[in-house]
Structure 1
Amino acid sequence: MSLDTLTLLPVTQPLTGHVSPPGSKSITNRALLLAGLARGTSRLTGALKSDDTRYMAEALRAMGVTVDEPDATTFVVTSSGAWQEPAEPLFLGNAGTATRFLTAAVALQKGRFTVDGDQHMRKRPILPLVEALQSLGVAIAAPSGCPPVAIDAKGGFSKDRVVIDAGLSSQYVSALLMAAPLTRQPFEIELKGAEIGARGYIDLTLAAMRAFGASVEEVSASIWRVQPTGYRAADFHVEPDASAATYLWGAEVLTGGKIDIGTPAEAFTQPDAKAHAVISAFPHMPAVIDGSQMQDAIPTIAVLAAFNETPVRFVGIANLRVKECDRIRALSTGLNAIRPGLATEEGDDLIVAADPALAGQVLPARIDTFADHRIAMSFALAGLKISGITILDPGCVAKTYPDYWDALASLGVTFEKP
């Protein structure tokens, strides 16, 4: 969508219908990487086609991997298992998964690689992963602590063990785990400290690795041992995106509707599916919500909290400050644009002063999305109940859910376009 703004018109009846969320971004980018590292041809079905996954696919193509797209939800990946040095830097937009995963994976190839992104990605930290790879003898540098990252890869690690600080992102651990089967000997990864962002994503990583032939042992809650098996090509089905599902679950409870997304909440393996229980409690969501293990669902829940019966404090969300944007600041800015005082930041906590009476009011607000897809999609929920909610840069949803506005329209949501 190329529109600069989009204003939602409040709905006058419950939203009902069937919407199939796109495939999981998190799983699609894991599967693309692993298929690119495997020898042979892999077929990924149910996959997400969005900005983030296209950046990953394009990067693989730039390194000699064949990536075909026979239909809207399938990638067919053919690889020798070894990647070529690309002619240009690998540009990955603001795709955190692609950037972190590829940084570790190219470190075990041979050649010079530069992993880079857009202005937003260049503000997102990658130093813990860079330092871990440096400790393994990799010639790698990220002078700003964020992309671009320059790697002079020699095809191996100098040690068989690494300690990684995953307090900022579990993606650092996932990146090392997925690279580890390419080493020449069993390899151990240990967490530095107990903190890890959204541990459930590690489970997604391990499941995807095993599907492509890896052997991983969870020695303890903070140590993994990976065998040097390499990867074998596989056919792999990607489940729907649980983070995308949260917007539909939110629209359902906010309007008293019934939206069939085709997958029961309990069938998801992604961490954000935990949000279903919290969303289902609306308008009586708990006074304190710990977002540490469902981070991408917090924008959805925070906007819903504005209409809750009682105020909500969100804790365990410090990592939201280093996502596609500072999501804590973006949420408080957007909520306070709707009504001053609706949100407060206390340290890294976010407090939403709930008021069910917001529904039905005319409160013109231009929501700055900060080019963040999740801010755009979550604040659309406010526009279902409040007149005058205008989303700036609505096209940013292409990052993970290109058809989001069409999905809402299919349920009966209408828009004013400039």
Structure 2
Amino acid sequence: MTTSTGTAGRALTARIPGSKSLTNRALLLAAAADGTSVLRAPLVSDDTLAFRAALDDLGVAVETGPDGAWAVTGAGRGPVGGARIWCADAGTAARFLPPFAAAGAGAYVFDGSDQLRARPLRALADALERLGVSVRATGAGGLPLHLSADGVDGGELAVDGGLSSQFLSGLLMAAPLARGPLTLTVRDLVSRPYIDMTLALMRRFGADVTEESPGVFVAAPGGYTATDLPVEPDASTASYVFAAAAVTGATLTVPGLGRDSLQGDLGFVEVLRTAGARVEIGADATTVTGTGRLRGGFEVDMGPISDTFMTLAAIAPLADGPITVRGIGHARLKESDRIAAVAENLAACGVTVETGPDWLTVRPGPVRPATIACHRDHRIAMAFSVLGLRAPGLVLDDPACVAKTFPGFHAELERLFPTQGGSGRATEGGAR
């Protein structure tokens, strides 16, 4: 494997913004807590700002301190009074906030962009209805969603977790606001690490929630207590710079992501280890070093860390053998059909790709210049930007879509891997 960015052997430290998953969960829990919580180093991006604005519509005050921390003042209950809530493109807002509103009182209407309207929400609406909530999903995917709230009694509920773990997370986080205990039994759960994250944060905010047996969760009433929470760097976002180190021969460290991280997507570095990179996971940082060879010839189930499968797929043409990713069928229901989008773009680059309902195989080979169709999907844009470090002539048709989770992504990638003679960079019209 040859390198082309002049970073081989260099020791780099990446500046990764806060986790979107942690930020939006913490915003919801702080909004439900009694008192003022402080979220330190939160992610400031399109999705988290949309979530924050939605909380403002629900009457929850969020203030920004001089150090950039967000102070969230909750009332120790669900919202009251009713509102129209705009979720923009934020799937977490559309999945987390309706159960929170259901635990309050009033008439609420949730809506979002055309992209968000196309994403599935009816399973959540059905679950709320079975809890006695008056709810009506009017769009093809579920939005706009009309909800008339008068609190939730608790009880027992079976949940299908096969489409998105966010449905279960939303119901779990609202459960301590119910009038009685709520037992949630989930089947076919995808992205289990995100449920573990949700449970850990609920307990951090004082909730009494247990997993009585595999897939059976019991939350006691009692609500939440305000807390001070530092937000870890985003492990999904870190996958791009870790992969960049692997394909350029650099040594790259992300501070703040260590062995006790709440984020399952840090497991992506173990996939890079399988692909030949050297990996060190310390107490407070993780380091990946490219070894001069990207190994292929393996299969990996990335269902639990599906937000990072595109990172692997995008660099797979540089490996020395085919790579197959399995367990990712639910990725077809994200911001884009991510399996189809990855296959489409790799094919445009002249790469041989085979796909199935929940799998994708990428065969190694030369990468030709192409325009990358981002489909307004931040992860497509960032993943193919990493391939662009080794493949000159890749052009993103929508580079700005990275603002959903990392507005400064392109500047940080350029800082870490400066463009040098003949090296690639996936850009808009070749601009740098």
TM-score (norm 2): 0.89
- Mapped to 2, the partners of 1:298 and 1:181 lie a distance apart of 34
Give the alignment partner of residue 177 of structure 1, picking from 172, 178, 186.
Answer: 172
Q: Which has the higher contact order (CA 8 A, sep 6+)?
A: 1
- Greater mean alpha carbon deviation, residues 273-282 or residues 25-34: 273-282
| Number of the residue aligned with 2:405 | 400
The whole-number CA distance in structure 2 between the counterparts of 1:72 and 1:296 is 30
Q: 1:183-239 CA distances to partner (integer Å, 9 max, x unpaired)? A: 111111111x3x111111111001110111100111011111111011111111111
Pick the aligned partner of 1:139 from 134, 146, 149: 134
Q: Does 1:350 align with 2:360?
A: yes
In structure 1, what residue type is equivalent to 2:354?
T
Q: 1:313 aligns with which of 312, 317, 324?
A: 324
Give, in angstroms, the shift of residue 349 of structure 1. 1.5
CA contact (8 A) 1:62 1:86 kept: no
Q: Which runs of 4+ in 1 moved over 6 A?
A: none
Taking the TM superposition and a 5 Å limit, the aligned residue runs for 1:245-324 are 245-264=238-257, 266-282=259-275, 283-285=294-296, 287-324=298-335
Q: How far apart, CA to CA, are the structure 1 residues paired with 2:142 and 2:301? A: 27
Q: Secondary structure in 2 aligned to 1:114?
A: strand
Partner of 1:5 in structure 2?
A: none
- Aligned partners of 1:13 and 1:39: how far apart in 2? 49
Matches within 5 A, 1:18-417: 18-71=13-66, 73-82=68-77, 83-87=79-83, 89-143=84-138, 144-157=140-153, 159-191=154-186, 193=187, 195-264=188-257, 266-282=259-275, 283-285=294-296, 287-339=298-350, 341-355=351-365, 358=366, 363-414=368-419, 416-417=430-431
> How has the CA–CA distance of structure 1 residues 104 and 219 changed in structure 2, closer, same or farther, with 3 Å as cutoff?
same
Q: Aligned letter for 1:153?
A: A
Return the alpha-carbon distance in structure 1 between the equivalents of residues 75 and 100 of structure 2: 15
* 8 Å CA contact 2:157, 2:185 repeated in 1: yes
| AA partner of residue 301 (structure 1) | L
2:45 and 2:141 map into 1 onto residues whose CA distance is 27
User: Residues of 1 paired with 2:357 and 2:54: CA distance?
Assistant: 38
C-alpha deviation, 1:122, in angstroms: 0.5
Identity within the alignment, %: 38
1:17 Cα deviation after fit: 2.1
Q: CA deviation at 1:286?
A: 5.0
Q: Give the structure 1 partner of residue 281 of structure 2.
A: none
RMSD (CA atoms): 1.8
Q: CA deviation at 1:338?
A: 0.7
Alpha-carbon contact 1:108-1:155 (below 8 Å) kept: yes
SS where residue 65 of structure 2 aligns?
Answer: strand
Helix, strand or coil at the partner of 2:255: coil
Residue 304 of structure 2 aligns to a residue whose secondary structure is coil
Write the letter of the residue equivalent to 1:199.
Answer: R
CA displacement, residues 113-149 of structure 1 (integer Å, 9 cap, x when unaligned):
1111111111110111111111111011113242221
Structure 1 partner of 2:5? 11
Cα gap change, 1:47/1:108 in structure 2, threshold over 3 Å: closer, same or farther? same
**Structure 1 178/266 Cα, relative in aligned 2: closer, same or farther at 3 Å?**
same
> Aligned in 2, Cα 1:375/1:189: closer, same or farther, shift over 3 Å?
same
Separation (CA, whole Å) in 2 of partners of 1:200 and 1:47: 20
Q: Which runs of 5+ in 1 are unaligned?
A: 1-8
Report the Cα offset of residue 262 of structure 1: 1.2
TM-score between both structures, scaled by the size of structure 1 = 0.92
Quick one: distance in 2 between partners of 1:108 and 1:68?
24
> d(CA) in 2 for partners of 1:297 and 1:176?
25
Q: Is the 8 A contact 1:10 1:387 kept in 2?
A: no
Task: Render the CA deviation track for 1:87-122: whole Å, top value 9, x for unaligned.
Answer: 4x2111221112100011111111111111111111
Q: CA deviation at 1:81?
A: 2.9
Structure 2 runs not aligned, ≥5 long: 276-293, 420-424
Cα displacement string for residues 365-394 of structure 1 (whole angstroms, at most 9, x for unaligned residues):
000000000000000011101110001111
Query: In structure 1, how many angstroms separate the alpha carbons of the residues matched to 2:402 and 2:68?
Result: 17
User: Contact 1:117 / 1:147 at 8 angstroms: preserved in 2?
Assistant: yes
CA drift at 1:274: 1.1
CA distance in 1, matches of 2:81, 2:87: 16
Identify if the C-alpha distance between structure 1 residues 386 and 134 changes in structure 2 by more than 3 Å, giving closer, same or farther: same
Judging changes above 3 Å, is the alpha-carbon distance between structure 1 residues 145 and 119 closer, same or farther for their aligned structure 2 residues? closer
* Secondary structure of the structure 2 residue equivalent to 1:228: coil
Supply the distance in 1 between the matched residues of 2:312 and 2:252 (Cα, whole angstroms): 17
The Cα of 1:47 is off from its aligned counterpart by: 1.1
Write the distance in 1 (CA, Å) between the matches of 2:162 and 2:193.
14
Q: Separation in 2 of the partners of 1:329 and 1:190?
A: 32
Question: What is the CA-CA distance between 1:71 and the residue it aligns to?
Answer: 4.6
The answer as to whether partners of 1:160 and 1:187 remain within 8 angstroms in 2 is yes
Provide the C-alpha distance between the structure 2 equivalents of 1:71 and 1:127, rounded to a whole number of angstroms: 41
